[in-house]
């Protein structure tokens, strides 16, 4: 296996070409893998490479941070750092654009989830073609309503198509942690595997797909996408709703309470976010 190739300036995201046909993208922003506007250009660079490289056929997303696949948006970043980003190639705002393009890229994408896939982490997993979770260590969450927020990266359009309306509303309105076994039962992930088997399973599947014809992979994805992906128009309102919700006094108050309890810091609030947002009070 080739050494990791660092392609992005501040090393929050690493790109490893395991083979010319098989890439691995690793989130590495300790201690919590919080995703902020500074990471958006980096993720955009990765997706642009997946769209244009003539050889790559499969990509696996994983994490180098113990306990955290990829977590929520950075609430310490100035709001203008997000609102000033230009729309992407689809016309959607920057983050929804990147995720929509990942879903449509002529490459099979796999999210390998160990630890928390919270907010943006869940949204990236949903935008990937396949999701495999650690039975013991994975926790998925669209936690935003617990802080008075509306999710902005596409889960309102993607989750109902994936797991059905009732279960999607349970995830989105309950805003609680979903473990690997329940995520598998609901169809939120393809499979939950014992943690010791997860890496080997995903690597074997990725290498198998990487051995197949690139044009065939692209054609199958294109036709499956026609039957399953939301239109950009269905995703577009979510980011605007997220930005509006961040600025509401009620949301600001709930976020302040979370910060006072240890949100954005290593510790119990981030480890048990679903529990804590359920105990903020009205």
Active site residues: 123, 144
Residues 6+ apart with CB under 8 A from 260: none
Based on C-alpha coordinates, what's the Rg of the chain?
18
Report the distance separating Cα 125 and Cα 183, nearest Å.
12
Report the distance separating Cα 246 and Cα 208, nearest Å.
43
Report the distance separating Cα 254 and Cα 262, nearest Å.
13
Q: State whether the Cα torsion 124-126-129-131 is positive or negative.
A: positive
Strand partners of residue 167: none
Report the distance separating Cα 21 and Cα 17, nearest Å.
8
Nearest C-alpha neighbor of 48 from the set 96, 105, 92, 93:
105
Residues 6+ apart with CB under 8 A from 126: 99, 154, 155, 158, 159, 162
Residues 6+ apart with CB under 8 A from 166: none
Element (H, E) at 24: strand 22-27
Report the distance separating Cα 216 and Cα 219, nearest Å.
5
CB 25 within 8 A of CB 92: no
Q: How many CB atoms lie within 10 A of CB 80?
A: 9
């Amino acid at each position: 296996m080739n050494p990791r190739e660092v392609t992005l300036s501040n090393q929050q995201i690493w790109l490893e070409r395991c083979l010319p046909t098989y890439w691995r993208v690793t989130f590495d922003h300790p201690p919590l893998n919080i995703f902020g506007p500074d990471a958006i250009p980096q993720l955009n660079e990765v997706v642009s490479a997946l769209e244009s490289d003539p050889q790559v056929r499969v990509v696996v997303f994983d994490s180098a941070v113990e306990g955290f696949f990829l977590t929520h948006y950075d609430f310490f970043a100035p709001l203008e750092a997000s609102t000033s980003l230009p729309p992407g190639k689809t016309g959607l705002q920057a983050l929804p654009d990147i995720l929509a393009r990942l879903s449509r890229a002529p490459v099979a994408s796999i999210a390998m989830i160990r630890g928390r896939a919270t907010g943006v982490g869940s949204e990236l997993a949903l935008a990937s073609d396949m999701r495999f979770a650690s039975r013991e260590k994975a926790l998925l969450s669209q936690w935003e309503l617990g802080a008075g927020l509306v999710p902005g990266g596409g889960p309102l359009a993607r989750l109902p198509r994936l797991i059905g309306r009732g279960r999607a509303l349970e995830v989105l309105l309950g805003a609680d942690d979903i473990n690997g076994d329940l995520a598998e039962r609901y169809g939120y992930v393809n499979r939950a595997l014992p943690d010791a088997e997860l890496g080997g399973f995903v690597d074997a599947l990725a290498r198998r797909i990487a051995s197949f014809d690139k044009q065939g992979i692209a054609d199958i994805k294109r036709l499956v996408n026609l039957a399953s992906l939301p239109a950009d128009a269905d995703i577009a309102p979510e980011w605007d709703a997220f930005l509006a919700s961040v600025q509401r006094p009620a949301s600001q108050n709930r976020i302040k309470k979370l910060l006072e309890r240890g949100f954005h810091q290593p510790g119990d609030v981030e480890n048990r976010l679903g529990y804590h947002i359920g105990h903020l009070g009205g």
